[in-house]
Amino acid sequence: MCAATIVAVPQTSAARETWDRVANIKDAAKRLGELHRLQGSQGVLKFLDACYRTQTLASEYSAGLESCMAQDYMHSQVLAQIYARIPQADRVRMGTPAPEDIARGMGQRFVATFRQYKISAKEAEKFKKLVDTNGMPIFLKSVFPPQKPGEATPDAGAASKN
C-alpha cells in the first residue's frame, strides 16, 4: 500500500473490531488463493468488485469488508509486481494495466473506504502490517507453491541447454 494512501486518510477514531483480525485475514488469504486458482485474476477482480459493492453498504466496518480489503491488497500487490516485470509495449499489446495504475486504483478504494468508516491513518497502517504478516505469506504460497523435490525449475531447463 503506498504511503500516500495511508497519509491521505484523516485522523479519526478507529472502528471497533469485534472479531479475530488475524484469523479473518488468514482466512481471506486462503479463500483468495483458492479463487485465484479456480478463476484467475479476472475472477478475483469480479469478486472484489461485488464484495466492495455489498460490504460498503453496511453502516459499520465489518469482518467481511476487512476481508475484501485484505484480498484486494494482496492481489493488487502481487499483480503490480508481476506486471512491473513486463515491458510497457508488451503490457499495452496485451491490454494489461500499468503497475502504477493497479496501485492507484487500490489506493483510491482504500482511501474511500477508510474515510467512509472513519479509519485513522494509524489503524490503516496496522491493517497493512496485519495483512503483510499474516495474509500475504499464505496467499503467496497458494499462488506460487514451492517446487516439489525432483521437479525441474524453469532455470534448470535453460541451464541444461547451454
Q: What is the full DSSP assignment across 7-53?
A: HHS---PPP---S-HHHHHHHHHHHHHHHHHHHHHHHHHHHHHHHHH
pLDDT digits (tens, 9 = 90+) for 112-160: 999 999 999 999 999 999 999 999 999 999 999 887 766 655 444 444 3
In a domain, 154, yes or no: no
Check residue 152 and give its pLDDT.
53
In a domain, 39, yes or no: yes
Provide the domain limits for residue 35: 18-144
12 CB-near residues (< 8 Å, 6+ apart): 118, 119, 120
In a domain, 66, yes or no: yes
In a domain, 94, yes or no: yes
Rounded to an integer, the average pLDDT of 11-35 is 86
Q: Which long-range contacts (CB under 8 A, 24 or more apart) does 138-141 make?
A: 138/26, 138/29, 138/30, 138/33, 139/29, 139/32, 139/33, 139/36, 139/74, 139/75, 139/78, 140/78, 141/33
In a domain, 149, yes or no: no
In a domain, 133, yes or no: yes
pLDDT digits (tens, 9 = 90+) for 67-107: 999 999 999 999 999 999 999 999 999 999 999 999 999 99
pTM here? 0.82
Check residue 147 and give its pLDDT.
77
In a domain, 10, yes or no: no
In a domain, 13, yes or no: no
| Number of domain units in the chain | 1
